[in-house]
């Protein structure tokens, strides 16, 4: 796990410089590459235009030299201008013929510029011109409105573009006289200003050539693609690394959660919560607090073990401890430990509502435990358990040392002090099914319980006599007792009032009256016995 964390940290350190380089390239590279390529493209376009213009001029000079200058230089008489000048001595081409010849020469080569001088009304001895849709439309439009000046057409594909510009050929006075009097003219009613035809210039440019001119920009895109790919690869690696770490962390969290749930079964919920929330340090440390301590024990548990099979006893004891622990948790008690069949619970740490409220909660818990034990006894007797459990309970309030006791390797969260021992001594002096508490506790809860003082007891480690108080009733209890049981020498009875039927209740009432009369007779004839050994019915 540590090596994985180190690799993650190293990758994170490398990601920073790489991201900075990528951002700098993205910010500075694009405008630089675009400027360099535009400069290169401008140079190439200017060079191409210069070459093309030179080609056109060369064609014009060549045509003029061969068909005009040469005819003039070799003329022996008067120079004439004719449309059919070739083969005629002293003849040079008229402007229209010169334009036609020039167009054929310029368009005859594979160049970016083409020139055409065309009309739909050529002389009869000339080949008719082939006009396409644009040329026919442009000619008709310019004849209708010569002031339009020109017609434009842009076409091509994603790989090349073509621009065509058509300008009108307007008849002047000399042209009108010639055309109207010439025998080969197809039209003899020309007027000055009429549009005889069009002269068309075609510009063609292959886009692919310009695209490949952007070498710097393409280089930038290649670098950006490489940088982006590198970033994606690194990001993918980081993502996979984080996913793997998350999976390992999830597995670790699941393992820790299962372990924590298992650990929670060995400590009280309050301690578990304080440790895992960070409120309490796991170290050897104690403090002195005023607590209310509860101690309970099952009467004659050893004798009960002899009557039951180990499996039955285990199930019975586990159910008893489970039920009592649940009641302790509901009332906010901290279950310290189980000592065989005994239970030690205290109130006031790690959570407290105040000394008085803690004592009241402890007493309410003890009463609820006795009531629930009576209900369990009724069920156990119906299940075939002849003599279920009877618990004695003791409660005391006083100062104890509470916290983590033990060593650095193993700790035990518990309490130590004479007050805890006093709670155990009070438990041993309680009657089966009864609750005994000290005066310190009674002084705090006297307003919610009925209790009677008992004979003082002495205890090792406490110099004073301790007066125990037996709880006789809970003023807060909304549900009266419905299960009564008592076992002892000469006493063995169990009554579940909720389970009685009308006929059974009548028989029980009669038998209880007879038993009470017999007890009264016995009391008059038998020697005196301690008052606490009599059973109140």
Summarised one tens digit per residue, pLDDT across range 237-272 is 878 888 888 888 888 888 877 777 777 667 667 676
Write out the two tokens for 196: 């005889």
Q: Which helix (H) or strand (E) holds 200?
A: strand 195-206
Please state, in angstroms and rounded to a whole number, the distance separating the CA atoms of residues 507 and 514.
11
Burial of 157 (0-12, 13-18, 19+ CB in 10 A): exposed
Sheet of strand 113-118: strand arrangement:
113-118, 195-206, 160-170, 151-156
Which helix (H) or strand (E) segment holds residue 413: the answer is strand 411-416
394 secondary structure, DSSP code: E
Strand partners, 491: 488
Per-residue b/e over 346-364, b at no fewer than 16 CB within 10 Å?
bbbbbbbeebebbbbbbbb
For 121-136, what is the HEC assignment? Answer: CCCCCCCCCCCCHHHH
Q: How far apart are CA 263 and CA 198, in angstroms?
A: 101
Of 379, 292, 302, nearest in space to 344 by CA: 292
User: Which of 389, 430, 411 has the alpha carbon at shortest distance from 294?
Assistant: 430
Please give the radius of gyration of the chain, using alpha carbons only, rounded to the nearest integer.
Answer: 59
Handedness of CA 201, 204, 210, 211 (dihedral sign): positive
Q: Are 108 and 116 in contact (CB under 8 A)?
A: no
Structure tokens at 126: 């000339």
Token pair 């000619």 is found at: 139
Check: CB of residue 281 under 8 Å from CB of residue 34.
Answer: no
User: In sequence order, what are the residues at sequence separation of 6 or more whose Cβ sits closer than 8 angstroms to the Cβ of residue 405?
Assistant: 284, 286, 411, 412, 413, 414, 416
Return d(Cα 396, Cα 65) in angstroms, integer.
Answer: 135
Q: Which of 100-113 are b and which e, b meaning 16 or more Cβ less than 10 Å from the residue's Cβ?
A: bbbbebbbeeebeb
Distances (CA, A) of 207 to 36, 50, 111, 161, 221: 18, 19, 15, 7, 19
Torsion of CA 344, 347, 351, 352, to 10 degrees: 180
Q: What pLDDT does residue 15 have?
A: 66
First to last CA, the chain: 70
Distance (Å, rounded) from C-alpha 351 to C-alpha 479? Answer: 29
Residues of the chain with pLDDT under 50: 477-479, 529-537
What's the confidence (pLDDT) of residue 363? Answer: 94
Please give the Cα distance from 67 to 335 (Å, whole number): 125
Cβ count near 344 (within 10 Å): 20
SS3 493: strand
User: In whole angstroms, what is the distance from residue 419 CA to residue 427 CA?
Assistant: 13
Distances in Å between the alpha carbon of 387 and those of 247, 487, 491?
55, 8, 12
3-state secondary structure of 197: strand
- The C-alpha atoms of residue 148 and residue 198 are separated, in whole angstroms, by 13
Query: CA 166 to CA 132: how far, in whole Å?
Result: 12
What is the per-residue pLDDT for 478? 47
Round to whole Å and give the CA distance between 89 and 435: 151
Residue 285: half-sphere exposure toward Cβ, Cα within 13 Å: 4
Inter-CA distances, 232 with 52, 222, 229, Å:
48, 15, 5
Give the number of other CB atoms < 10 A from CB of residue 47: 10
Coil, strand, or helix at residue 149? coil
Q: What is the pLDDT of residue 465?
A: 84
CA neighbor of 500 nearest in space, from 509, 488, 491: 509
Q: Which of 355, 357, 352, 342 is nearest to 294 (CA)?
A: 342
Summarised one tens digit per residue, pLDDT across range 191-237 is 888 888 888 888 777 666 666 666 777 777 777 778 778 877 877 78
| Residue 115, pLDDT score | 80
CB 201 within 8 A of CB 165: yes
């Amino acid at each position: 796990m540590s090596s994985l964390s180190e690799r993650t940290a190293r990758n994170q350190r490398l990601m920073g410089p790489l991201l900075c380089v990528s951002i700098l390239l993205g910010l500075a590279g694009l405008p630089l590459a675009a400027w360099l390529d535009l400069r290169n493209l401008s140079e190439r376009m200017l060079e191409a235009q210069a070459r093309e213009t030179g080609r056109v001029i060369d064609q014009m000079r060549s045509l003029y030299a061969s068909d005009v200058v040469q005819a003039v230089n070799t003329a022996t008489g008067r120079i004439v201008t004719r449309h059919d000048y070739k083969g005629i001595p002293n003849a040079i081409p008229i402007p229209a013929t010169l334009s036609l010849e020039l167009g054929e020469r310029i368009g005859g080569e594979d160049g970016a510029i083409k020139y055409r001088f065309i009309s739909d009304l050529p002389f009869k001895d000339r080949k008719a011109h082939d006009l396409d849709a644009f040329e026919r439309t442009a000619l008709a439009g310019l004849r209708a409105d010569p002031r339009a000046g020109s017609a434009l057409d842009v076409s091509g594909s994603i790989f090349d573009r073509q621009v065509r510009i058509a300008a009108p050929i307007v008849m002047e006075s000399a042209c009108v006289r010639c055309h109207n009097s010439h025998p080969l003219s197809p039209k003899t009613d020309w007027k000055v200003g009429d549009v005889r035809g069009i002269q068309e210039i075609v510009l063609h440019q292959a886009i692919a050539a310009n695209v490949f001119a952007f070498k710097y920009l393409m280089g930038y895109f290649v670098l950006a693609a490489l940088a982006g790919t590198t970033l994606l690869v690194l990001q993918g690696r980081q993502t996979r690394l984080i996913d793997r770490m998350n999976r390992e962390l999830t597995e670790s969290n699941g393992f820790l959660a299962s372990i924590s749930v298992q650990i929670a079964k060995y400590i009280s919920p309050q301690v578990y919560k304080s440790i895992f929330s960070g409120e309490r340090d796991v170290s050897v440390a104690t403090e002195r607090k005023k607590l209310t301590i509860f101690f309970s024990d099952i009467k004659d548990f050893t004798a009960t073990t002899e009557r039951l099979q180990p499996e039955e006893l285990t199930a019975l004891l586990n159910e008893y401890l489970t039920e009592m622990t649940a009641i302790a948790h509901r009332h906010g008690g901290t279950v310290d430990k189980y000592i065989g069949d005994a239970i030690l619970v205290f109130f006031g740490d790690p959570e407290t509502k105040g000394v008085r409220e803690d004592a009241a909660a402890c007493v309410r818990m003890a009463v609820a435990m006795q009531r629930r034990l009576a209900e369990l006894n009724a069920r156990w007797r119906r299940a075939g358990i002849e003599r279920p459990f009877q618990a004695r309970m003791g409660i005391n309030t006083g100062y104890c040392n509470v916290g983590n006791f033990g060593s650095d390797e193993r700790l035990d969260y518990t309490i130590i002090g004479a007050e805890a021992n006093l709670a155990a001594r009070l438990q041993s002096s309680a009657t089966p099914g009864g609750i005994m508490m000290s005066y310190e506790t009674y002084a705090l809860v006297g307003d919610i319980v009925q209790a009677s003082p008992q004979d003082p007891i002495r205890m090792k480690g406490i110099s004073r006599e301790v007066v125990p108080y037996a709880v006789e009733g809970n003023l807060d209890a909304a549900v009266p007792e419905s299960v009564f049981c008592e076992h002892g020498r000469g006493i063995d009875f169990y009554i579940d009032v909720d389970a009685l039927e009308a006929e059974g209740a009548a028989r029980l009432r009669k038998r209880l009256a007879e038993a009470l009369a017999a007890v009264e007779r016995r009391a008059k004839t038998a020697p005196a016995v301690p008052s606490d050994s009599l059973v109140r019915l």
